[in-house]
Structure 1
Amino acid sequence: MRRLLVLAPALVLLAGCHPSSPAKETPSSSAPASSASASAGLPPDPQPVRTAECPYLSNETVQDANGQHVTKVSVSDDEPHPACFFYRPDGSLQLTVRVYVGKSDVATALVNKAAPVDTSNPASDPAGWKGGYQPSGDGVVYAVAKGDAAVIVTSNQKQSIKARTVAKKAIAALKL
């Protein structure tokens, strides 16, 4: 019954969707956004809006973990923790870190959107955090949630340990 009540607004929104208005894809999206998840109250995927330092991860931390030099960092307008977008010397995106703090069901849904339970490998690092990791495009996504918080890292590297290391560093820096 509770699931029906949660899904009812999504079904109403889906009924009004028109095929000529596709969902907007973003650089930090590790999986295509479904209309159902977007209408179920998930915040939109973050967008890089300005060049700035990441408030919770240094360039050196990302360089050491991901194995590539960072030449530019952009951040989103998300509050209280902006998403951070780290770029390589050739200008391409190498790593994105998205932090969500709010409702626990939304945190879990964001992780499931990035690394669906049905298709991803289970992730439980750091201790107490749960989620998944899986290949994503030319790289990997590592997504975990704990309580009302979620951390989603996408990397252009195929080794999940690199994204996991960045996630752990972000969680430690933010004291989540």
Structure 2
Amino acid sequence: MRRILQLAPALVLLAGCAPAAPVAETPPPSSSAAPASSSAVMPPDPRPTRAGQCPYLSKQEVQDTNGQHVTAVKLSADQPTPACFFYRPDGSVQLSVRVYTGTSAIAKALVDKAAPVDTSNPADQPAGWKGGYQPSADGVVYAVAKAGSAVVVTSNQKQSIKARTVAEKAIAALKL
């Protein structure tokens, strides 16, 4: 027993010198929903930065479609097509519309980020557009892409038809 106690410090020292078992490095979480094989970089989520008129949807269209009074509209700094944020009388966002034009890979990744293919219901309107819709914590999201364009609509309403109708109106106005 005494011999073991004398060898214990040496064993601890040797154990510290032994090569560690290889540890698989986990890559840091990415804010990008783009596939790993893609070198494309996802644009950041839009934020409202200034008051203004949405260039592809009027306050009246959103009021009529979403069923709530719009008291303010704010736009993101994104160019050439800003995201539009429509506000309720209580100051909260009732509906937002994000439009992306660029690469097909990023358009699809934006849609998959908003309404993941694995968890959302399939969306295919307007004709030729593909994506998904699903409930969110605050309402619903409807996201579709076609070629290098994507449209993502979030609404505080639970009915997906409202978000889908807004997406169709934005796509028609932008002639995407």
TM range (shorter): 0.7 to 0.9
CA–CA distance in structure 1, aligned partners of residues 104 and 138 of structure 2: 30
Partner in structure 1 of residue 33 of structure 2: 37
* Structure 2 residues not aligned, in runs of 5+: 1-24
Give deviations 1:84-118, integer Å, cap 9, x for gaps. Answer: 00000111110000000000000000000000000
Confirm or deny: 8 A CA contact 2:48 2:76 kept in the other structure. Answer: yes
The amino acid across from 1:56 in the alignment is Y
Percent identical residues: 72
Query: Tell me, what secondary structure is at the counterpart of 1:111?
Result: helix
* CA contact 2:32–2:41 (8 Å) conserved in 1: no
TM-score by length of 1: 0.80
Task: Give the corresponding residue for 2:11.
Answer: none
The residue matched to 2:166 in structure 1 has which SS?
A: helix
Matches of 1:44 and 1:145 in 2, distance apart? 17
Q: Structure 1 173/36 Cα, relative in aligned 2: closer, same or farther at 3 Å?
A: closer
Q: How many residue pairs align between the two structures?
A: 148
> In structure 2, what is the equivalent of residue 120 of structure 1?
120
Query: For residue 110 of structure 2, what is the amino acid of its counterpart?
Result: L
Cα distance in 2 for residues equivalent to 1:138 and 1:45: 17
Query: Deviating runs (4+, > 3 A) in structure 1?
Result: none
Aligned pairs for 1:19-38 within 5 A:
35-37=31-33
For residue 98 of structure 1, what is the aligned residue in structure 2?
A: 98
Larger Rg: 2
- State yes or no: 1:137 paired with 2:137: yes
Q: Which amino acid aligns with 1:37?
A: A
Partner of 1:159: 159
* Alpha-carbon RMSD: 1.8
Q: Tell me the CA shift for residue 57 of structure 1.
A: 0.3
Gaps of 5+ in 1: 1-11, 18-22, 24-33
Structural mapping, 1:52-131, within 5 Å: 52-131=52-131
- Distance in 2 separating the partners of 1:67 and 1:100: 26
Partner of 2:146: 146
Q: Distance in 2 between matches of 1:161 and 1:35?
A: 29
Q: Distance in 2 between matches of 1:74 and 1:36?
A: 25
State the shift of 1:36 in Å: 4.9
Q: Secondary structure at the match of 1:143?
A: strand
Residues of 2 paired with 1:160 and 1:85: CA distance?
18
- Rounded to whole Å, the distance in 1 between the matches of 2:166 and 2:64 is 9
Q: State the SS of the aligned residue for 2:33.
A: helix
